[in-house]
Structure 1
Amino acid sequence: MLKEKMLNAINEQINAEQYSAFLYLSMSAWFHDKGLPGFANWMYIQYQEELTHANKLFNYVVERGEKPELKAIKQMPVEWEGIIDIYEATLKHEQHVTELINNLVDIAIEVKDHATQSFLQWFVDEQVEEEANVTEILDNLKLIDGQGNGIFMLDREMRGRTFVDDTVTE
Protein backbone atom coordinates (compact mmCIF):
# COMPACT_ATOMS: atom_id res chain seq x y z
CA MET A 1 0.00 0.00 0.00
CA LEU A 2 1.23 3.45 -0.90
CA LYS A 3 0.64 6.55 1.15
CA GLU A 4 -1.61 9.04 -0.62
CA LYS A 5 1.12 11.63 -1.20
CA MET A 6 3.37 8.99 -2.75
CA LEU A 7 0.59 7.54 -4.91
CA ASN A 8 -0.40 10.97 -6.20
CA ALA A 9 3.20 11.81 -7.07
CA ILE A 10 3.76 8.53 -8.91
CA ASN A 11 0.53 9.01 -10.86
CA GLU A 12 1.77 12.46 -11.88
CA GLN A 13 5.06 10.87 -12.98
CA ILE A 14 3.20 8.33 -15.11
CA ASN A 15 1.63 11.27 -16.91
CA ALA A 16 5.01 13.02 -17.23
CA GLU A 17 6.55 9.89 -18.77
CA GLN A 18 3.68 9.61 -21.25
CA TYR A 19 4.14 13.27 -22.17
CA SER A 20 7.86 12.59 -22.68
CA ALA A 21 7.00 9.70 -24.99
CA PHE A 22 4.75 11.81 -27.16
CA LEU A 23 7.21 14.70 -27.16
CA TYR A 24 9.84 12.37 -28.62
CA LEU A 25 7.36 10.91 -31.09
CA SER A 26 6.62 14.47 -32.22
CA MET A 27 10.36 15.07 -32.64
CA SER A 28 10.63 11.83 -34.60
CA ALA A 29 7.91 13.09 -36.96
CA TRP A 30 9.82 16.38 -37.40
CA PHE A 31 12.98 14.49 -38.35
CA HIS A 32 11.08 12.28 -40.81
CA ASP A 33 9.68 15.42 -42.41
CA LYS A 34 13.22 16.82 -42.78
CA GLY A 35 14.49 13.63 -44.46
CA LEU A 36 16.63 12.51 -41.52
CA PRO A 37 15.51 8.93 -40.84
CA GLY A 38 18.41 8.18 -38.47
CA PHE A 39 17.55 11.05 -36.15
CA ALA A 40 13.87 10.07 -36.50
CA ASN A 41 14.81 6.55 -35.42
CA TRP A 42 16.75 7.83 -32.40
CA MET A 43 13.73 9.84 -31.24
CA TYR A 44 11.37 6.94 -31.93
CA ILE A 45 13.50 4.74 -29.68
CA GLN A 46 13.27 7.48 -27.03
CA TYR A 47 9.49 7.37 -27.45
CA GLN A 48 9.49 3.61 -26.84
CA GLU A 49 11.75 3.96 -23.79
CA GLU A 50 9.54 6.61 -22.21
CA LEU A 51 6.48 4.41 -22.66
CA THR A 52 8.27 1.58 -20.87
CA HIS A 53 9.12 3.99 -18.04
CA ALA A 54 5.44 4.95 -17.73
CA ASN A 55 4.49 1.28 -17.76
CA LYS A 56 7.09 0.44 -15.11
CA LEU A 57 5.54 3.07 -12.81
CA PHE A 58 2.00 1.92 -13.69
CA ASN A 59 2.84 -1.69 -12.85
CA TYR A 60 4.52 -0.65 -9.59
CA VAL A 61 1.36 1.14 -8.47
CA VAL A 62 -0.69 -1.96 -9.28
CA GLU A 63 1.84 -4.22 -7.52
CA ARG A 64 1.49 -2.09 -4.40
CA GLY A 65 -2.28 -2.66 -4.44
CA GLU A 66 -3.27 0.75 -5.71
CA LYS A 67 -5.04 2.10 -8.78
CA PRO A 68 -3.08 4.13 -11.33
CA GLU A 69 -4.87 7.28 -12.46
CA LEU A 70 -4.21 8.24 -16.05
CA LYS A 71 -4.62 11.86 -17.03
CA ALA A 72 -4.85 13.80 -20.26
CA ILE A 73 -1.52 14.47 -21.91
CA LYS A 74 -0.96 18.13 -22.70
CA GLN A 75 -0.13 19.19 -26.24
CA MET A 76 3.56 18.94 -27.04
CA PRO A 77 5.48 21.11 -29.52
CA VAL A 78 5.48 19.99 -33.15
CA GLU A 79 7.95 22.45 -34.68
CA TRP A 80 11.53 23.40 -33.90
CA GLU A 81 14.07 25.77 -35.43
CA GLY A 82 16.59 23.05 -36.24
CA ILE A 83 18.48 20.00 -35.06
CA ILE A 84 20.46 21.78 -32.36
CA ASP A 85 17.23 23.35 -31.10
CA ILE A 86 15.62 19.91 -30.80
CA TYR A 87 18.52 18.44 -28.83
CA GLU A 88 18.74 21.50 -26.59
CA ALA A 89 15.01 21.07 -25.91
CA THR A 90 15.59 17.35 -25.30
CA LEU A 91 18.36 18.02 -22.79
CA LYS A 92 16.25 20.63 -21.01
CA HIS A 93 13.34 18.19 -20.89
CA GLU A 94 15.51 15.37 -19.51
CA GLN A 95 16.86 17.72 -16.84
CA HIS A 96 13.25 18.51 -15.92
CA VAL A 97 12.43 14.80 -15.70
CA THR A 98 15.49 14.34 -13.46
CA GLU A 99 14.06 16.98 -11.13
CA LEU A 100 10.72 15.15 -11.11
CA ILE A 101 12.39 11.83 -10.26
CA ASN A 102 14.45 13.47 -7.53
CA ASN A 103 11.24 14.92 -6.11
CA LEU A 104 9.71 11.43 -6.04
CA VAL A 105 12.71 10.16 -4.10
CA ASP A 106 12.37 13.09 -1.69
CA ILE A 107 8.72 12.21 -1.11
CA ALA A 108 9.59 8.52 -0.57
CA ILE A 109 12.14 9.59 2.04
CA GLU A 110 9.68 12.01 3.64
CA VAL A 111 6.91 9.41 3.99
CA LYS A 112 9.43 6.69 4.92
CA ASP A 113 8.50 4.48 1.98
CA HIS A 114 11.68 2.43 1.67
CA ALA A 115 10.28 0.10 -0.99
CA THR A 116 9.45 3.00 -3.29
CA GLN A 117 12.77 4.64 -2.57
CA SER A 118 14.51 1.42 -3.66
CA PHE A 119 12.27 1.13 -6.75
CA LEU A 120 13.03 4.72 -7.78
CA GLN A 121 16.80 4.18 -7.75
CA TRP A 122 16.50 2.60 -11.21
CA PHE A 123 14.98 5.86 -12.50
CA VAL A 124 17.69 7.96 -10.83
CA ASP A 125 20.36 5.91 -12.61
CA GLU A 126 18.41 6.01 -15.89
CA GLN A 127 18.27 9.81 -15.82
CA VAL A 128 22.05 10.07 -15.50
CA GLU A 129 22.33 7.95 -18.65
CA GLU A 130 19.61 9.92 -20.48
CA GLU A 131 21.26 13.28 -19.84
CA ALA A 132 24.71 11.95 -20.78
CA ASN A 133 23.46 10.50 -24.09
CA VAL A 134 21.70 13.69 -25.12
CA THR A 135 24.66 15.85 -24.06
CA GLU A 136 27.01 13.77 -26.23
CA ILE A 137 24.78 14.16 -29.29
CA LEU A 138 24.32 17.87 -28.63
CA ASP A 139 28.09 18.36 -28.29
CA ASN A 140 28.61 16.57 -31.63
CA LEU A 141 25.95 18.70 -33.30
CA LYS A 142 27.56 21.89 -31.99
CA LEU A 143 30.94 20.77 -33.33
CA ILE A 144 29.49 20.65 -36.84
CA ASP A 145 27.25 23.68 -36.24
CA GLY A 146 24.18 21.54 -36.86
CA GLN A 147 24.72 21.35 -40.60
CA GLY A 148 26.75 20.04 -43.48
CA ASN A 149 28.06 16.57 -44.20
CA GLY A 150 28.45 15.88 -40.50
CA ILE A 151 24.65 15.75 -40.19
CA PHE A 152 24.50 12.92 -42.70
CA MET A 153 27.21 11.01 -40.85
CA LEU A 154 25.39 11.41 -37.53
CA ASP A 155 22.10 10.49 -39.20
CA ARG A 156 23.59 7.21 -40.40
CA GLU A 157 24.94 6.52 -36.93
CA MET A 158 21.51 7.17 -35.39
CA ARG A 159 19.94 4.57 -37.70
CA GLY A 160 21.77 1.84 -35.81
CA ARG A 161 20.07 2.48 -32.49
CA THR A 162 17.65 -0.27 -31.50
CA PHE A 163 15.09 -0.51 -28.76
CA VAL A 164 15.93 -2.61 -25.72
CA ASP A 165 13.43 -2.70 -22.87
CA ASP A 166 15.81 -2.13 -19.99
CA THR A 167 12.93 -1.96 -17.50
CA VAL A 168 12.67 -5.74 -17.59
CA THR A 169 14.75 -7.46 -14.95
CA GLU A 170 15.82 -11.06 -15.00
Structure 2
Amino acid sequence: MLDKNVSRLINEQVTAEFYSAYLYLDFANYYYDEGLDGFGHWYDIQAQEERDHAMLMRTYLQNNGEKVKFEAIQKPDKEYRSLEDPLKFGLEHEEYVTSLINGIYKAAKDVDDFRTMQCFDWFVKEQGEEEKSADDLIKKFKLFGNDPKGLYALNQELLARVYTAPSLVL
Protein backbone atom coordinates (compact mmCIF):
# COMPACT_ATOMS: atom_id res chain seq x y z
CA MET A 1 0.00 0.00 0.00
CA LEU A 2 1.19 3.46 -0.81
CA ASP A 3 1.02 6.37 1.57
CA LYS A 4 -2.32 8.18 1.05
CA ASN A 5 -0.65 11.47 0.16
CA VAL A 6 1.76 9.82 -2.30
CA SER A 7 -1.13 7.94 -3.91
CA ARG A 8 -3.19 11.13 -4.16
CA LEU A 9 -0.31 13.04 -5.75
CA ILE A 10 0.34 10.30 -8.32
CA ASN A 11 -3.38 10.15 -9.14
CA GLU A 12 -3.35 13.92 -9.66
CA GLN A 13 -0.26 13.55 -11.83
CA VAL A 14 -2.06 11.08 -14.09
CA THR A 15 -4.59 13.83 -14.83
CA ALA A 16 -1.80 16.38 -15.25
CA GLU A 17 -0.07 14.13 -17.80
CA PHE A 18 -3.28 13.73 -19.78
CA TYR A 19 -3.69 17.53 -19.68
CA SER A 20 -0.14 17.83 -21.03
CA ALA A 21 -1.16 15.60 -23.93
CA TYR A 22 -4.19 17.82 -24.63
CA LEU A 23 -2.03 20.93 -24.46
CA TYR A 24 0.52 19.50 -26.88
CA LEU A 25 -2.20 18.38 -29.27
CA ASP A 26 -3.50 21.96 -29.16
CA PHE A 27 0.01 23.18 -30.05
CA ALA A 28 0.10 20.62 -32.88
CA ASN A 29 -3.26 21.82 -34.20
CA TYR A 30 -2.01 25.40 -34.24
CA TYR A 31 1.11 24.47 -36.19
CA TYR A 32 -0.81 22.30 -38.68
CA ASP A 33 -3.17 25.26 -39.24
CA GLU A 34 -0.13 27.46 -39.88
CA GLY A 35 1.26 25.01 -42.45
CA LEU A 36 4.13 23.80 -40.26
CA ASP A 37 3.56 20.05 -40.32
CA GLY A 38 6.97 19.30 -38.81
CA PHE A 39 6.19 21.38 -35.72
CA GLY A 40 2.75 19.76 -35.57
CA HIS A 41 4.30 16.31 -35.84
CA TRP A 42 6.83 17.12 -33.10
CA TYR A 43 4.02 18.06 -30.73
CA ASP A 44 1.95 15.02 -31.74
CA ILE A 45 4.86 12.93 -30.50
CA GLN A 46 5.10 15.02 -27.33
CA ALA A 47 1.41 14.30 -26.73
CA GLN A 48 2.01 10.56 -27.16
CA GLU A 49 4.85 10.71 -24.62
CA GLU A 50 2.59 12.45 -22.09
CA ARG A 51 -0.17 9.87 -22.59
CA ASP A 52 2.40 7.13 -22.03
CA HIS A 53 3.60 8.84 -18.84
CA ALA A 54 0.02 8.91 -17.57
CA MET A 55 -0.41 5.23 -18.38
CA LEU A 56 2.86 4.31 -16.65
CA MET A 57 1.72 6.11 -13.50
CA ARG A 58 -1.69 4.44 -13.74
CA THR A 59 0.00 1.04 -13.94
CA TYR A 60 2.26 1.93 -11.02
CA LEU A 61 -0.76 2.78 -8.88
CA GLN A 62 -2.55 -0.42 -9.89
CA ASN A 63 0.55 -2.55 -9.27
CA ASN A 64 0.64 -1.11 -5.76
CA GLY A 65 -2.98 -1.88 -4.91
CA GLU A 66 -4.23 1.68 -5.41
CA LYS A 67 -7.40 2.79 -7.14
CA VAL A 68 -6.93 5.10 -10.07
CA LYS A 69 -9.22 8.09 -10.03
CA PHE A 70 -9.58 9.95 -13.29
CA GLU A 71 -10.47 13.62 -12.97
CA ALA A 72 -11.75 16.03 -15.61
CA ILE A 73 -9.11 17.26 -18.00
CA GLN A 74 -9.15 21.00 -18.53
CA LYS A 75 -9.38 22.47 -21.98
CA PRO A 76 -6.14 24.15 -23.09
CA ASP A 77 -6.64 27.92 -22.88
CA LYS A 78 -3.52 29.34 -24.49
CA GLU A 79 -3.71 31.99 -27.18
CA TYR A 80 -1.02 32.02 -29.82
CA ARG A 81 0.07 35.37 -31.22
CA SER A 82 3.27 34.16 -32.84
CA LEU A 83 4.86 30.96 -34.07
CA GLU A 84 7.15 31.03 -31.04
CA ASP A 85 4.36 31.19 -28.44
CA PRO A 86 3.64 27.44 -28.23
CA LEU A 87 7.36 26.78 -27.85
CA LYS A 88 7.59 29.18 -24.90
CA PHE A 89 4.40 27.80 -23.37
CA GLY A 90 5.81 24.30 -23.79
CA LEU A 91 8.95 25.10 -21.81
CA GLU A 92 6.93 26.81 -19.09
CA HIS A 93 4.65 23.79 -18.91
CA GLU A 94 7.54 21.33 -18.66
CA GLU A 95 9.03 23.38 -15.81
CA TYR A 96 5.65 23.21 -14.05
CA VAL A 97 5.42 19.43 -14.58
CA THR A 98 8.94 19.11 -13.17
CA SER A 99 7.75 20.84 -10.00
CA LEU A 100 4.86 18.35 -9.72
CA ILE A 101 7.16 15.35 -10.22
CA ASN A 102 9.56 16.76 -7.64
CA GLY A 103 6.63 17.11 -5.23
CA ILE A 104 5.75 13.44 -5.64
CA TYR A 105 9.38 12.46 -5.13
CA LYS A 106 9.65 14.57 -1.98
CA ALA A 107 6.39 13.18 -0.57
CA ALA A 108 7.69 9.64 -1.17
CA LYS A 109 11.03 10.53 0.43
CA ASP A 110 9.28 12.01 3.47
CA VAL A 111 7.64 8.63 4.21
CA ASP A 112 10.62 6.46 3.19
CA ASP A 113 8.74 5.10 0.17
CA PHE A 114 11.82 3.83 -1.63
CA ARG A 115 9.83 1.96 -4.30
CA THR A 116 8.08 5.14 -5.43
CA MET A 117 11.33 7.07 -5.26
CA GLN A 118 13.01 4.46 -7.47
CA CYS A 119 10.14 4.58 -9.96
CA PHE A 120 10.11 8.37 -10.01
CA ASP A 121 13.88 8.55 -10.52
CA TRP A 122 12.99 7.80 -14.15
CA PHE A 123 10.44 10.63 -14.29
CA VAL A 124 12.89 13.09 -12.70
CA LYS A 125 15.44 12.22 -15.41
CA GLU A 126 12.77 12.38 -18.10
CA GLN A 127 11.76 15.87 -17.00
CA GLY A 128 15.34 17.05 -17.36
CA GLU A 129 15.30 15.74 -20.94
CA GLU A 130 11.88 17.33 -21.61
CA GLU A 131 13.03 20.75 -20.39
CA LYS A 132 16.22 20.54 -22.46
CA SER A 133 14.30 19.53 -25.60
CA ALA A 134 11.85 22.41 -25.16
CA ASP A 135 14.68 24.88 -24.54
CA ASP A 136 16.68 23.57 -27.51
CA LEU A 137 13.66 24.00 -29.77
CA ILE A 138 13.25 27.62 -28.67
CA LYS A 139 16.95 28.27 -29.35
CA LYS A 140 16.70 26.74 -32.83
CA PHE A 141 13.59 28.75 -33.58
CA LYS A 142 15.32 31.97 -32.52
CA LEU A 143 18.25 31.14 -34.79
CA PHE A 144 16.28 30.03 -37.85
CA GLY A 145 12.61 30.95 -37.41
CA ASN A 146 12.78 34.44 -38.92
CA ASP A 147 14.34 33.19 -42.14
CA PRO A 148 11.91 31.34 -44.45
CA LYS A 149 14.59 28.88 -45.59
CA GLY A 150 15.74 28.31 -42.01
CA LEU A 151 12.16 27.82 -40.83
CA TYR A 152 11.59 25.35 -43.65
CA ALA A 153 14.73 23.40 -42.71
CA LEU A 154 13.77 23.34 -39.02
CA ASN A 155 10.25 22.21 -39.92
CA GLN A 156 11.75 19.36 -41.99
CA GLU A 157 14.02 18.38 -39.11
CA LEU A 158 11.05 18.19 -36.74
CA LEU A 159 9.06 16.17 -39.26
CA ALA A 160 11.73 13.46 -39.09
CA ARG A 161 11.25 12.87 -35.35
CA VAL A 162 10.38 9.26 -34.53
CA TYR A 163 8.43 8.20 -31.46
CA THR A 164 10.12 5.88 -29.01
CA ALA A 165 7.98 4.39 -26.26
CA PRO A 166 9.40 4.57 -22.73
CA SER A 167 11.06 1.45 -21.38
CA LEU A 168 10.37 1.92 -17.69
CA VAL A 169 9.83 -1.32 -15.79
CA LEU A 170 7.26 -0.93 -13.03
Normalising by structure 2, report the TM-score.
0.95
The reply on whether 1:149 has 2:159 as its aligned counterpart is no
The letter for the 2-side match of 1:71 is E
Separation in 2, partners of 1:89, 1:71: 23
Structure 1 position 168, deviation (Å): 4.6
Partner SS state of residue 112, structure 1: coil
Asked if 2 retains the 8 angstrom alpha-carbon contact of 1:21 and 1:47, the reply is yes
Q: Is the 8 A contact 1:52 1:167 kept in 2?
A: no
Correspondences of 1:29-108 after superposition (within 5 Å): 29-77=29-77, 79-108=79-108
CA RMSD of aligned residues (A): 1.5
**Does the 8 A contact of 1:27 with 1:78 survive in 2?**
no
How far apart are the structure 2 equivalents of 1:11 and 1:146? 42
- Contact 1:19–1:74 (CA<8 Å) still a contact in 2? yes
Cα gap change, 1:167 to 1:81, in 2 (>3 Å)? farther
Structure 2 segments unaligned to the other structure (5+ residues): none
SS of match in other structure, 2:54:
helix
Residue 132 of structure 1 is matched in structure 2 by 132
Contact 2:122/2:168 (8 A) holds in 1: no
* Count of aligned positions: 170
Give the 5 Å matches for 1:11-30: 11-30=11-30
Structure 1, unmatched stretches of 5+, are: none
1:102 CA drift (Å): 0.5
Question: CA–CA distance in 2 between the matches of 1:127 and 1:168?
Answer: 14
Percent sequence identity is 36
* CA drift at 1:84: 1.3
| TM-score with structure 1 setting the length | 0.95
Aligned-pair CA distance for 1:83: 2.0
CA distance in 2, matches of 1:103, 1:42: 28
How far the C-alpha of 1:79 sits from its partner, in A, is: 3.5
Task: Please state whether the residue corresponding to 2:84 is helix, strand or coil.
Answer: helix
Contact 2:144 2:154 in 1 (8 A): no
Distance 1:44 1:128 in 2: 20
Structure-2 separation of matches of 1:96 and 1:37: 27
